[in-house]
Amino acid sequence: MSFNPKIVAFLCNWCSYTGADLAGTSRMKYAPNIRIIRVMCSGRVEPTFVLSAIKEGADGVLICGCHPGDCHYHEGNYKCLRRYKLLKKYLTQMGYDPERLHLEWISASEGKQFAELVDAFTEKIRSLGALNAKQIIETLT
């Protein structure tokens, strides 16, 4: 059986989730591998959320927020960007491929870009292979 990546996506309520909604209502086809979690702002995405997703078996994590300057709360997406950068540095040090975590800006009108992003990210994770972090974290050796 071929590897089917599990991807957790945190989408901000105001831009990216609406963008994903647009992709859906426009009947655009994209990879069915993502599990979307709607958050009010990408600034709400704590590093703990991402680490928990990895622990629970995600092969990749995607975060989407409003374009810089467009945040509904003015600067939540900048906070997200800084956390994302720092988290990537931490993940790299912990032996995880930093490409398994990805941040992208998706506006409410970018349904097509969202569909393409999901396809591209799914392929990227597929090429990286299964992560199996859950098993490694839970098995004490």
Partner 1 sequence: MTNQENKKKINLAIYWGAACGGCCVSVLDVHEKLFVVTEYADLVFWPIALDIKYKDVEEMPDGFIDVTLFNGAIRNSENEHLAHLLRKKSRILVAYGSCSHLGGIPGLANFHSKEEIFQRVYYESESTINEDRVRPLQECVVNEGTLKLPEFYNDVRSLNQVVDVDYYLPGCPPQTERLVEVFLAIVTGAELPPKGSVVGAYSKSQCDECKRKRTDNKVIKKFKRPVDVIDDGETCFLEQGIICMGPATRGGCGARCIEGNAPCRGCYGPPPDVIDPGAKMLSAIATMIDADKEDEIDAIIESIDDTAGTFYRFSLPGSILRRKLI
Residue 96 CA to residue 16 CA, distance in Å, equals 26
Nearest to partner 1 of 46, 123 (CB atom): 46
DSSP string spanning 62-129? EEEEPPTT--TTSSHHHHHHHHHHHHHHHHHHTT--GGGEEEEE--TT-HHHHHHHHHHHHHHHHHH-
Q: Choose between 26 and 135: whose C-beta lies nearer to partner 1.
A: 135
Contact set with partner 1 (CB under 8 A): 46-48, 51-52, 54-55, 68, 78-79, 81-83, 85-87, 89-90, 93-96, 133, 136-137, 140-141
CB of 141 to partner 1, least distance (A): 4
Shortest Å distance, C-beta 133 to partner 1: 7
For 68, counting Cβ atoms within 10 Å of its Cβ (0-12 exposed, 13-18 middle, 19+ buried), the class is exposed
Structural tokens at position 107? 């506006």
The nearest distance, CB 110 to partner 1, in angstroms, is 19
Q: Which is nearer to partner 1, 96 or 112 (CB)?
A: 96
Q: How many residues does the chain have?
A: 141
If the CB atoms of residues 34 and 91 are measured against partner 1, the closer one turns out to be 91
Per the CB < 8 A criterion, the answer to whether 9 and 36 are in contact is: yes
Question: Minimum distance from CB of 88 to partner 1 (Å)?
Answer: 9
**With respect to partner 1, which residue has the nearer C-beta, 8 or 23?**
8
**What minimum distance in Å lies between the beta carbon of 126 and partner 1?**
19
